[in-house]
Structure 1
Amino acid sequence: MSRITTLRTIRIDERPNLIWVEIETDEGLTGLGESFRGAQAVEAAVHELAAPLVLGQDSRRIEAISRQLLTPYLGFHSVSAEVRAASAIDIALWDIKGQRHGIPVHEALGGASRLEIRAYNTCAGYAYNTKSAKRREIGAADAALGPYDDQIAFMRDAGALAESLVSEGFGAMKIWPFDPFAANGGHSISLAELKTGLEPFRKIRAAVGDRIEIMCELHSLWGAHTAERICRALEDYGVFWVEDPLNKMDDVQGLADLRRRVKTPICGSETLAGAASFRNLLAADALDVVMLDIAWCGGLTEARKIAALAEAYNKPLAPHDCTGPVALMAGLHLALHAPTAIFQEVVRATLSTWYRDLVTALPTVSNGIVSAPHAPGLGLALNPDLRRRADAVVRESMLGA
């Protein structure tokens, strides 16, 4: 038996959306998990709801713990605080499993389908997603904070950005130039706004031709009519996918109808949790590409089931990361394991800066390819000084306390 003795959460004011969970066992192992958004709510869910259920349990029984945490009376089938807490705990348990057996998580999951995978660069900036709001509109006064301030770059000179990415070996990039126009609940977009949103795609194709794939992120901001208008307009640019086009990505009928009406492939969704949500979309033929976030969907246990559904429906899989380094590493392990995975999302702005300040190791990205980690477990830990920072908030729940 490997009894769970401690649940610890760590968050820092500098990155108020991020929260880490460490699980300690009586065999002397420590596993690391992570989730994102509403860190204080997730912290409360970990200690008030999950800790009484998890402390004292055998950490080897990952499936049983996952079922217990993901079937509360409230909070399932959405990326709720309960599910985000359960996701972080589950990631930490898989980290422990890999460490216990001296193998990386992708091997613990059942073995690698590949030992490297293509990366696409999400063109975010250094501070993107740091605060509560996901979107940040770029104004005339905004100045680039460094060479990888890619959100400013795609709004101002998308062609030069594409050339930079191609020079580093990236074969795919993701941008979201339509976000500033999502007024009125996303139920309308003017022709002038539509043309402005298309301009980065035109510049990318003019600069690098077909040497890079382009993904368009729509951030679940749009009504059905407007989403269709945007998707149709993008057809001329060979967009690889349009991601989360509808403002309700669990709208199975609406998404399936949109997919039938447009030629642009539909990807979704980082906003959903639980295998059942993806089963319903796949059964309705509503998706071309399956995207999931390990730190939101229920952790690696649930993500593996979603990956199996993608395989059963012969759909490609692309794990999400635009949040934190632990979720990125967990997503990479799944992408290496899952038979239909085609991409791992990365953000070069964060990989080259503040991710490095938080953890002891990061994925290796070279020439647009992410290589398999070989260290046991996830292959990273929090930097030891993190919990001693002045802005750190550390909370523990312990067996018998």
Structure 2
Amino acid sequence: MSTITALRTLRIDEHPNLIWVEIETDDGLTGLGESFRGAEAVEAVLHAQVAPWLIGRDAQQIEAVSHHLMTPYLGFHSSSAETRAASAVDLALWDLAGQRLGVPVHTALGGRVRDAIPVYNTCAGYRFNTAGAARRDVAQADHPAGPYDDQIAFMRDAGALAESLLDEGYRAMKIWPFDIYAPASNGQLLTLEQLKQGLEPFRKIRQAVGDRIEIMCELHSLFGTHAAARICQGLEEFDVYWAEDPLCKMDDAPALADLRRRTRTPVCGSETLGSAKQFRDLLAADALDIVMLDLAWCGGLTEGRKIAALAQAYSKPIAPHDCTGPVTLMAGLHLAVHAPTAIFQEVVRATLATWYRDLVTELPVLSQGTALAPTAPGLGTALNPAVRARADLRLRESGKPRRAL
């Protein structure tokens, strides 16, 4: 038995959406988990509801813990604060399991089926998703903060951006030029002029690099059925790899299935869904071409591998999401090298080059457009010690931690 003795949460004001969970056990190990969005709410759930139940239990009983935390009285079958808290705990328990066995998490899951997984670059900038809602627009006064301010780049010269990515070995990229048109009509109306303007970055990419790079279109769950169909049909000309989260409610199986019937553009979804049940319902309705899941939002690796198994049963590929935090990225990579139908791991080169590396000790090793399977025990990363010395650190502990921090 490996008894859980303490649960610790850490947040920093610079990145208010991020929360880390450290779980300590009486065998001297510390597991690391993470979640994103509504960090204060997740923190409250962890200390008020999770910790009193979790402390004193066996950290090796991951399935039992997951089952309990993923079926709360309220907040189940969604990406609620309860589910995000359960996700962070689950990642930490798998980190502990790998450390205890002396193997990477992908080995603890049953082994890897590949040594590396292709990555695509989500063309966000350095501060995307850091201080609130994701940035949608690029103003004339905006200037690149560095060579990887890719959201400004795709809105101004998407062809040059594609050439830059190819030069670094990337063979796939994701952009979202339609987001700026959604607010005016709550995503219900897209004019022909707006459609043509939104398609222009895709045209520039194809003109600049031809078919040497795959393009994904992110729609961020912003559009109604008519506007989404118009976008997806317009994208057909450019052979995009997928249109991601095209509808306002990505748990609407009939609406998604209807959209799939109306376009040749593959439909991908959804990072916003929590629990295997929601993915089961969409797959049963033939509503998805590609399954995207976020391990910090869907229930962690325990629920994530069930979603991957469902995707495999329905002969659908999976692509773990990350535009949020470095621990989630590492966890997604472990699942991506383990799951038979995985095709991509998302990365953001701007964050890999800057604040991700400041927060954790290790990040994925990229080589010619692929991420290599991690080799260290557990998730293979830990919080950078400098995080604990930050003036903006917000730390809470439940139980009996081994040492004061």
Give the TM-score taking structure 1 as reference length. Answer: 0.99
Give the Å deviation of 1:101. 0.3
Q: Please name the residue that 2:11 is paired with.
A: 11
**SS across alignment from 2:394:** strand
Separation in 2, partners of 1:334, 1:71 = 23
Separation in 2, partners of 1:312, 1:191 = 39
Q: Deviation string for 1:268-319 (max 9, x for gaps)? A: 0000000000000000000000000000000000000000000000000000
Q: Please name the residue that 2:376 is paired with.
A: 375
**SS across alignment from 1:157:** helix
Cα RMSD for the two superposed structures: 1.0
Separation in 1, partners of 2:52, 2:115 = 38
Q: Please name the residue that 2:288 is paired with.
A: 287
Q: Please name the residue that 2:162 is paired with.
A: 162
Q: Please name the residue that 2:387 is paired with.
A: 386
Does the CA-based 8 Å contact 2:14-2:131 persist in structure 1?
no
Does the CA-based 8 Å contact 2:11-2:19 persist in structure 1?
yes
Q: Please name the residue that 2:79 is paired with.
A: 79
Give the Å deviation of 1:385. 2.0
Separation in 1, partners of 2:191, 2:69 = 45
Q: Please name the residue that 1:56 is paired with.
A: 56
Separation in 2, partners of 1:46, 1:173 = 36
Q: Please name the residue that 2:150 is paired with.
A: 150
Instruction: Map 1:166-181 to 2 at 5 A.
Output: 166-181=166-181
Does the CA-based 8 Å contact 1:387-1:393 persist in structure 2?
no
Q: Please name the residue that 1:248 is paired with.
A: 249
**SS across alignment from 2:49:** helix
**SS across alignment from 1:16:** strand
Q: Number of residue pairs matched?
A: 401
**SS across alignment from 2:15:** coil
Separation in 1, partners of 2:39, 2:383 = 17
Q: Please name the residue that 1:309 is paired with.
A: 310
Letter aligned with residue 54 of structure 2: V
Separation in 2, partners of 1:243, 1:208 = 22
Give the Å deviation of 1:399. 5.2
**SS across alignment from 1:280:** helix
Q: Please name the residue that 1:275 is paired with.
A: 276
Separation in 2, partners of 1:176, 1:360 = 31
Q: Please name the residue that 2:70 is paired with.
A: 70
Separation in 1, partners of 2:247, 2:88 = 27
Give the Å deviation of 1:261. 1.0
Separation in 1, partners of 2:95, 2:213 = 34
Letter aligned with residue 349 of structure 2: R
Letter aligned with residue 134 of structure 1: A
Q: Please name the residue that 2:366 is paired with.
A: 365
Letter aligned with residue 35 of structure 1: S
**SS across alignment from 1:79:** coil
Q: Please name the residue that 1:343 is paired with.
A: 344
Separation in 2, partners of 1:229, 1:387 = 49
Point out where structure 1 has 5 or more consecutive residues left out of the alignment.
Answer: none
**SS across alignment from 1:225:** helix
Give the Å deviation of 1:153. 0.2
Instruction: Map 1:106-185 to 2 at 5 A.
Output: 106-182=106-182, 183-185=184-186
Q: Deviation string for 1:93-123 (max 9, x for gaps)? A: 0000000000000000010011101000000
Q: Does 1:397 align with 2:398?
A: yes
Letter aligned with residue 369 of structure 1: T
Separation in 1, partners of 2:197, 2:49 = 47
Does the CA-based 8 Å contact 1:255-1:286 persist in structure 2?
yes
Q: Please name the residue that 1:229 is paired with.
A: 230
Separation in 1, partners of 2:190, 2:172 = 27
Separation in 2, partners of 1:370, 1:320 = 14
Instruction: Map 1:20-39 to 2 at 5 A.
Output: 20-39=20-39
Separation in 2, partners of 1:216, 1:75 = 30
Separation in 2, partners of 1:156, 1:181 = 16
Q: Please name the residue that 2:89 is paired with.
A: 89
Separation in 1, partners of 2:236, 2:200 = 14
Does the CA-based 8 Å contact 1:256-1:286 persist in structure 2?
yes
Separation in 2, partners of 1:20, 1:251 = 31
Separation in 2, partners of 1:54, 1:399 = 13
Separation in 2, partners of 1:353, 1:314 = 37
**SS across alignment from 2:301:** helix
Separation in 2, partners of 1:135, 1:153 = 14
Separation in 2, partners of 1:214, 1:261 = 20
Separation in 1, partners of 2:197, 2:262 = 23
Give the Å deviation of 1:49. 1.1
Give the TM-score taking structure 2 as reference length. Answer: 0.98
Give the Å deviation of 1:136. 3.1
Separation in 2, partners of 1:50, 1:134 = 29
Q: Please name the residue that 2:331 is paired with.
A: 330
**SS across alignment from 1:207:** helix
**Mean Cα displacement is larger for which, 127-136 or 286-295?**
127-136
Q: Deviation string for 1:189-216 (max 9, x for gaps)? A: 1111111100000000000000000000
Q: Please name the residue that 2:102 is paired with.
A: 102
Does the CA-based 8 Å contact 1:55-1:399 persist in structure 2?
no
Separation in 2, partners of 1:129, 1:366 = 26
Separation in 2, partners of 1:120, 1:326 = 18
Letter aligned with residue 271 of structure 2: E
Does the CA-based 8 Å contact 1:270-1:291 persist in structure 2?
yes
Separation in 2, partners of 1:396, 1:101 = 26
**SS across alignment from 1:345:** strand
